[in-house]
Amino acid sequence: MDLHNLTAHEVGDLLRRREVSAVEVTEAMLERIEVVDGRVRAFLTRTAEQALEQARAVDAARARGEDPGILAGVPMALKDNLCTEGVRTTCASRMLAEWIPPYDATVVNRLKKAGAVILGKLNMDEFAMGSSTENSSFFPTRNPWDLERVPGGSSGGSVAAVAAGEAYYTLGSDTGGSIRQPASFCGVVGMKPTYGRVSRYGLVAFASSLDQIGPVTRDVTDCALVLGVIAGHDPLDSTSADVPVPDYRATLWPDIKGLKIGIPREYFGTGIEPEVENVVRRAINKLEELGAVCEETSLPHTEYALPAYYLVAPAEASSNLARYDGVGFGLRVPGRDIVEMYMNTRSQGFGPEVKRRIMLGTYALSSGYYDACYLKALKVRTLILKDFENAFTKYDVLATPTSPTVAFRLGEKAGDPLAMYLSDLCTIPINMAGLPAISLPCGFSQGLPVGLQLIGKAFDEATLLRVAYAFEQATEYHRRRPELGVA
């Protein structure tokens, strides 16, 4: 049996029935990583020993007759901006290359309680800034569907690992699209939950008012299961919301008759590859066949989301990244005095994109520009939110492409920051509004996966999952796996 081709819930069922042990599954996964990761390069750090120990603990619990839950014993991995006690957390930056956190992020804690087997830490764009994982200070990750192409970013390692069968599910983070855009590039399911749904405690901050942690999985059922584990109020994150968490799996039923889906026209046409648009439109027709009522609508301020994001996100980043000064933790490059030490540390510790963001953000926040840039961007942010609020008086869900293109070639956009930024055209507005959205595989263009993005009302992940599930039940795209040239 090709264990690595299964979904998390399929493996979870095998484990529950004790047809296979957690140690066997973990060993099979470690072997799979050994075989394919030289090509895909999703992992920055592997924690084989710890994984086997966690697997043994789950097997022991089951041997005692306990039921530790459906995800117990299922191997997974984490984006390397999620703090793991005793395991280095690099954010793919030279600045944190040797940094070992003294505590676990809340999501990591919750996963451990659910019996997760953690295989290691995954590559990303440095400090989650980028859309291709080429901004990693270590090496780029490759797209399992075509090794000459990028997996997307910034959670490139998280999606490539799931697509290549190196983990049954992973966690990523999404500030402007970093879970959904790579999920669409690699043909897997990725969700950015509502801002506040999942605790950010222990997520290394990029732009605190936009960052959210979310699941990357092979199907919608797994997404529902993982979200159920990581969601919920956390006193350690003052922005986490005290809103009840439904049993997401129980809300999955493939009936969307009469559900109203808005199709915002600003997300189609200019800037979107025609073949991507065709695939997404066919997916929307499918939703209609399944009984949903689809109707064109408008979110008139959409075009201002990207420029406003590139003021708000860098502004917050410039403030958050001020802590990397060679004093508290991470890299220190000595100098003749403290100022030179700061300069040496920050010049050598950060890569070019991170420096660009710090400079943009510092500029936007500086006296004289604060009102014209930063405050204005915040006002635009409110207009964007109001567009969505308006639309959600009429519709249950909105449907758009996740990304304007399929996966591009390594190096194709690396020298052109603006072209790279445009890759998040369809995902950024959702972060600006704090809403939940999911990307799911909806077809292929030039042999590469295309993602459908569904956007929901705040804290209504359940409806998103239900629509996604209905689509998935009626299609086969989520079952396709890249060849990778190995058995």
Name the residues that contact ligand GLN, by CB under 6 A.
128-131, 154, 174-178, 206, 313, 424
Closer residue to ligand GLN, CB minimum distance, 75 or 177: 177
Closer residue to ligand GLN, CB minimum distance, 165 or 401: 401
Closer residue to ligand GLN, CB minimum distance, 19 or 416: 416
- In angstroms, give the least distance from the CB of 154 to ligand GLN: 4
Q: In sequence order, what are the residues at sequence separation of 6 or more whose Cβ sits closer than 8 angstroms to the Cβ of residue 60?
A: none
Is 178 catalytic? The answer is yes
- In angstroms, give the least distance from the CB of 56 to ligand GLN: 35
Is 355 catalytic? The answer is no
Using CA atoms, how far apart are residues 406 and 122, in angstroms rounded to an integer?
Answer: 22
Q: Which has the closest alpha carbon to 10: 221, 265, 279, 299?
A: 221
Is 154 catalytic? The answer is yes
Closer residue to ligand GLN, CB minimum distance, 428 or 440: 428
Closer residue to ligand GLN, CB minimum distance, 130 or 151: 130
Q: With contact defined as beta carbons under 8 Å apart, do 280 and 452 qualify?
A: yes
Closer residue to ligand GLN, CB minimum distance, 234 or 424: 424
Closer residue to ligand GLN, CB minimum distance, 181 or 221: 181
21, 79, 173, 184: which one is catalytic?
Answer: 79
178, 199, 240, 423: which one is catalytic?
Answer: 178
- In angstroms, give the least distance from the CB of 461 to ligand GLN: 18
Structure tokens at 332: 């220190």
Task: Give the position of tokens 């075009």.
Answer: 303
| Neighbour-count burial for 90-116, b at 16+ CB within 10 Å, e otherwise | bbbbbbbbebebeebbbbbbbbbebbb
- In angstroms, give the least distance from the CB of 180 to ligand GLN: 9
Using CA atoms, how far apart are residues 10 and 478, in angstroms rounded to an integer?
Answer: 14
137, 154, 173, 423: which one is catalytic?
Answer: 154
CA distance to 74, 327, 370, 428, per residue, from 453 (Å): 27, 42, 33, 12
Closer residue to ligand GLN, CB minimum distance, 357 or 466: 357
- In angstroms, give the least distance from the CB of 133 to ligand GLN: 10
- In angstroms, give the least distance from the CB of 306 to ligand GLN: 10
Residue 143, judged by CB atoms within 10 A of its CB (0-12, 13-18, 19+), counts as buried
- In angstroms, give the least distance from the CB of 427 to ligand GLN: 8
- In angstroms, give the least distance from the CB of 89 to ligand GLN: 16
Other C-beta atoms within 10 Å of 44: how many?
A: 24
The residues that bridge with 133 in the sheet, in sequence order, are none
Structure tokens at 333: 């490059």
Q: With contact defined as beta carbons under 8 Å apart, do 141 and 151 qualify?
A: yes
- In angstroms, give the least distance from the CB of 362 to ligand GLN: 16
Using CA atoms, how far apart are residues 316 and 334, in angstroms rounded to an integer?
Answer: 27
Closer residue to ligand GLN, CB minimum distance, 174 or 219: 174
What is the biggest distance separating any 2 CA atoms in the chain, rounded to whole angstroms? Answer: 70
Q: Which amino acids are annotated catalytic?
A: 79, 154, 178
